[in-house]
């Protein structure tokens, strides 16, 4: 997709932040290449934090920090992944346990039935209890 060369630290950090949740390849000065999901970029030292990494030899790692001074360039392999409806619903419920299905649907601009389905999947995964998000608004009764 694209390559970001490390010249002007500030502009590269700003540009990299646009690709949080993207799949990237970080090319190091010593020839190593690490592929993973971009999680964070440190503004001061330009360290890069990746998850679900694979190195040049195919060895997997759940996460890694790559020191900014060792980076040659970064290749963007895919655009940022969007959060799923389940992820969005889960975050809303975590932030407000009393939120109704109708309120969630309005915030996410989706149908209440889609929200209910997402909540059922979250319950099956054990991520929320049956007590959470039980409140309904008058139009749901």
Say which CATH number the domain at 49 has. 2.30.30.100
Distance CA 23, CA 13 (A): 16
* Same domain for 44 and 22: yes
pLDDT at 77 over 60: yes
Q: Radius of gyration over alpha carbons of the chain, in Å? A: 20
35-68 pLDDT, tens digit per residue, is: 999 999 988 888 999 999 999 899 999 999 999 8
Grouping H, G, I as helix, E, B as strand and the rest as coil, residue 48 is strand
pLDDT for position 136:
39
Task: Residue 70: give the domain boundaries.
Answer: 2-76
Q: Among 22, 50, 76, where does a domain finish? A: 76
Quick one: pLDDT band at residue 85, thresholds 50, 70, 90?
confident
* Same domain for 40 and 93: no
Average pLDDT of every residue of the chain: 82
pLDDT for position 4:
52
Q: Among 57, 76, 95, where does a domain finish? A: 76
CB atoms within 10 A of CB 73: 15
* Same domain for 14 and 63: yes
pLDDT at 17 over 90: no
Please give the C-alpha separations between residue 119 and each of 51, 87, 132, in angstroms, as whole numbers: 26, 10, 9
* Same domain for 60 and 11: yes
Indicate the helix (H) or strand (E) that contains 91. helix 85-95
């Amino acid at each position: 997709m694209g390559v970001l060369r490390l010249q002007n630290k500030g502009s590269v950090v700003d540009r990299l932040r646009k690709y949080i949740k993207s799949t990237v390849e970080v090319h190091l000065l010593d020839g190593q290449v690490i592929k993973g999901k971009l999680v964070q970029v440190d503004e001061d030292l330009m360290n890069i934090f990746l998850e679900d990494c694979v190195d040049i030899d195919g060895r997997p790692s759940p996460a890694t920090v790559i020191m900014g001074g060792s980076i040659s360039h970064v290749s963007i392999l895919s655009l940022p992944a969007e959060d799923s409806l389940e992820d969005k619903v889960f975050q809303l419920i975590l932030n407000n346990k009393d939120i109704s299905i109708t309120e969630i649907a309005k915030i996410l601009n989706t149908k209440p039935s889609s929200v209910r389905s997402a909540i059922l999947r979250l319950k099956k995964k054990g991520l929320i209890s049956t007590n959470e998000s039980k409140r309904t608004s008058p139009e749901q009764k």
